[in-house]
Structure 1
Amino acid sequence: MLLRWLVTQYVRQAAQEKLREVVVDTARQHLENQTGGGHSGGGRHEAGEADEPFVCGGAVLFALGIEAGGLNDLLQQARTSRGPGWKGTSGNLRGRSLLVAETGVGQSSAAEATRRLIDEFKPPWIVSTGFAGSLTPDIRRGGIVLVDNIVDEHGEQIDTGLAIDPATVSAARGVFMGRLLTVDRLVRRREERARLAETYSADVCDMETMAVARVCRERGVRFLAVRIVSDGIDDAMPEEVEKLLDRPSLAGKLGIAAGAMFRRPSVVKDMWKLRETAIAT
């Protein structure tokens, strides 16, 4: 199960095998036992056209490839897929057929890609994951947040229905359960993060989760959100990384990355740290 892979490393640090089983099994049951959701479906692929059609057992959505952190590398019998506004890799992970897809940055891109992916692959469940910024000193870089409620700046809220005992989660070092705020911009300054935390009672923020959750609710697809904290409330995201996240096109991202490497070679280290954070979790 994907969530087992996502949380195992952090829960192991708690040195409590029973605790690990409770957290992981409860998260798995959330997806498997939720009512509603579509049936597994097929999709087209660029590679392996002669193979049997892919039957999607679930989908994991990232905004950018850098956030996937090697998840694609874990897929067995991997095949590439792409469509308008998205690209992905499908394969088998721990006995489950899985689609890992990039939607692009921002709510508009995420919503459109999610609709197209549901239409094409008909996943029975979707996990929105990737990086998030912390809005509270309690959740630091590298932490994993299991999202139980999503809110946006217009006041819309969506509960994920995550049925995990908060006391169990709080006992696991580096794993949190909390509210995620989806915004339409990068939140850079500590003062703004603190204001958002107070206004919306949110723990972390990102730019896509509400859009994905809204589409899943409309289409009756089971949904879960898991976010990895890339920057704490007092951490400054490197300027080049901010520009990379702001730039919508692949060519633009490559231009920003190449230019940054020439101007400040240490930016490679900053970008690599983001990838290491994803891989480690």
Structure 2
Amino acid sequence: MTHVQKEQSEEKRTTIGIVCALHLEASPLLDRLNPSRNQSGNGLKYYDCALDEVRVIVVEGAVGYELATQAAHALIDAVQPSWILSAGLSGALIEKMGLGDLVVGNSLIRQNGRDEIVQQLGMQSDPKRHLHVGKLCTVDHIVRTREEKRELNERTQAIAVDMESHAVAQVCKDRNTGFIAIRAISDDMSEDLPKEVLAIFGPKGTIRSGALVGTIFKRPSSVKDLWKIREGAVKAATNLAKYVLDILPQLAESKTPEKTSEKDSRAE
């Protein structure tokens, strides 16, 4: 196949973009997609992959609202995807979710309870498959305690929390691109995350290696707590990858949904 033929072939294929914040979130997915090439720019990594007849561009490093917004715009500018997925880990805001459960957002809201973006997905929760469909709340910090999670749920009626989904949804709404948020629960409502999480990961979720060493030195027992968190995150990321791979062909065959609607909860 000539270079021109290859480009024409790629143009005919459906392209789907996936925005992830952390390498841990993207890694199980990339292991299965086997990228053909990758490149970096503006703090983000781009992986060019394929799944049968679907071209998949995975963006890694979009931590927080600003970088997630940037990643979504970059995807649309570069490859005009039919869909963009915000895929990653999240915290449960209701009791009935367990580690590794999957959440699909049928609406996205910010922590101030405003700027809600409603998704017309036609999906229902399936507890037997550990699949939940409901509202996702995007915040600007790690939500560590059960008390803060309960307060966030009561104020927004969201069932899970993350730091990027609303940003990607807003870009897709503005630019008329299909969007879906898929999250896997990496911390449930059974207990608070240890205080050290805020120091180690920082407000944006990036790992501070110096703080990690200092934490272990000050409280050696924290190793057990942090390892437990990592195990939960790995389980969640693995389940996330399996689900995303299952639905990619379905998204490629489907029409993009009607343009998402937005409402300001101040009017309610």
Query: TM class by shorter-chain length?
Result: 0.7 to 0.9
Aligned residue identity for 1:72: L
Q: What is the rounded CA distance, in whole Å, between the counterparts of 1:110 and 1:236 in structure 2?
A: 27
| Alignment match, 1:31 | none
- Per the normalisation by structure 1, the TM-score is 0.72
Unaligned regions of 5+ residues in structure 1, if any? 1-48
| Alignment match, 1:246 | 202
| Alignment match, 1:91 | 49
| Alignment match, 2:158 | 202
2:67 counterpart (105, 109, 115): 109
Matched, 1:278 2:234: no
2:93 counterpart (113, 126, 135): 135
Q: What is the rounded CA distance, in whole Å, between the counterparts of 1:247 and 1:157 in structure 2?
A: 23
- Shift of the alpha carbon at 1:271? 2.2
Aligned residue identity for 2:18: V
Question: Alignment partner of 2:36: what SS?
Answer: strand
- Shift of the alpha carbon at 1:97? 1.1
Aligned residue identity for 2:238: I
Question: Alignment partner of 2:45: what SS?
Answer: strand
Taking every aligned residue pair, what percent have the same amino acid on both sides? 30
- Per the normalisation by structure 2, the TM-score is 0.75
What is the aligned length?
A: 229
| Alignment match, 1:190 | 146
- Shift of the alpha carbon at 1:170? 3.0
> Contact 2:100–2:235 (CA<8 Å) still a contact in 1?
no
> Contact 1:59–1:101 (CA<8 Å) still a contact in 2?
yes
Aligned residue identity for 2:122: A
Q: CA 1:122–1:241 in 2, change beyond 3 Å: closer, same or farther? A: farther
Matched, 1:157 2:157: no
- Shift of the alpha carbon at 1:140? 2.1
CA RMSD of aligned residues (A): 2.8
Q: What is the rounded CA distance, in whole Å, between the counterparts of 2:93 and 2:173 in structure 1?
A: 26
Aligned residue identity for 1:163: G
Q: CA 1:119–1:74 in 2, change beyond 3 Å: closer, same or farther? A: same
Question: Alignment partner of 1:57: what SS?
Answer: strand
Q: CA 1:68–1:218 in 2, change beyond 3 Å: closer, same or farther? A: same
> Contact 2:142–2:203 (CA<8 Å) still a contact in 1?
no
Q: What is the rounded CA distance, in whole Å, between the counterparts of 1:248 and 1:198 in structure 2?
A: 24
